[in-house]
């Protein structure tokens, strides 16, 4: 049977990709940010998962405003990366795991989630930056299979925080019902608070981000009290991406232990965070 080992919440700011490409990890501006990932690297090296389910949002590369599925899951044998305009160097394709992808898709549809299945799928910085962060050695990245789960947090109406948490719970059930012996990790990416345009461009909210991180492990329902409009006010329009962290958290079930957490502000006008959670039952 497949096993969910744990989950990681992480920012996916495109500037992180440029910092990695330019080897700026020890630069004073970047060092406090990258230091937060050291426990994650150690944990992933110890656990050596076979598959990573990566929850992110597309930024106009694979889907655009005229066609924007609420939830889309990749079912391809590999995922091509292409630069969508941030100046990032395109990476080599990432290997997929079609059998588990189709199992997830069928299981989620049976759980009454409407899923767009993608037998071909381009991936942008929302996907590649977390992969580069979690597995800095590309050789290790090539050894792990990936399943992209794309969530619409770009064009209203977005899914609610509650819907995302429930989707995560359904993903957790689907993984654990898969017959092959696999170790799986799930990544929820995006955020934290940030606003990229308008009168509040550059807005971040340390207090709100901190409370979100503190509640995520044992009280993930805390975020459900806010509508997406309220989240946009509290965390910025792009900060609504934090609802994707709830998908990661929901997949892990009730028995979860926080192993590490880091918060750094700002990274390219964004509040950036990482949290490592291990499933304990």
- Strand partners of residue 146: 52, 96
Tokens 């992808």 locate to 101
216 SS3 class: helix
Query: What's the rounded Cα separation, in Å, for the pair 216 and 175?
Result: 21
Strands 3-10 and 270-279: antiparallel
Find out whether 50 and 144 touch, Cβ atoms under 8 Å.
yes
Give 191's DSSP letter: -
Active site residues: 125, 194
Report the C-alpha dihedral over residues 238, 243, 245, 251, rounded to 10 degrees.
Answer: -160
Write down how long the chain is: 281
What is the chain's alpha carbon radius of gyration, rounded to the nearest angstrom?
Answer: 17
């Amino acid at each position: 049977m497949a096993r969910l080992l744990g989950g990681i919440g992480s920012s996916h700011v495109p500037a992180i990709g440029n910092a990695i490409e330019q080897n700026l990890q020890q630069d004073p501006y970047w060092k406090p940010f990258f230091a937060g990932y050291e426990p994650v690297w150690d944990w992933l090296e110890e656990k050596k998962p076979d598959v990573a389910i990566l929850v992110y949002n597309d930024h106009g590369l694979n889907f655009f405003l005229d066609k924007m599925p609420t939830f889309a899951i990749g079912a391809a044998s590999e995922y091509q990366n292409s630069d969508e305009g941030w100046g990032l160097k395109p990476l080599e394709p990432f290997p997929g795991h079609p059998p588990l992808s189709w199992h997830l898709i069928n299981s989620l549809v049976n759980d009454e989630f409407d899923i767009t299945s993608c037998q071909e799928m381009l991936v942008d910085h929302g996907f590649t930056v977390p992969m580069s962060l979690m597995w800095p050695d590309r050789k290790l990245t090539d050894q792990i299979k990936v399943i992209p789960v794309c969530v619409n947090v770009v064009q209203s109406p977005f899914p609610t925080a509650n819907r995302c948490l429930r989707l995560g719970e359904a993903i957790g059930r689907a993984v654990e019902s898969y017959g092959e012996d696999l170790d799986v990790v799930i990544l929820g990416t995006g955020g934290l608070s940030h606003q990229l345009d308008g009168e509040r461009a550059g807005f971040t909210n340390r207090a709100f981000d901190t409370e979100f991180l503190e509640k995520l492990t044992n009280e993930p329902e805390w975020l459900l009290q806010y509508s997406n409009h309220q989240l946009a006010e509290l965390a910025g329009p792009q900060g609504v991406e934090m609802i994707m962290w709830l998908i990661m958290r929901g997949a892990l079930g009730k028995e979860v232990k926080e192993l590490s957490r880091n918060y750094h502000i700002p990274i390219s006008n964004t509040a950036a965070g990482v949290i490592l959670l291990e499933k304990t039952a």
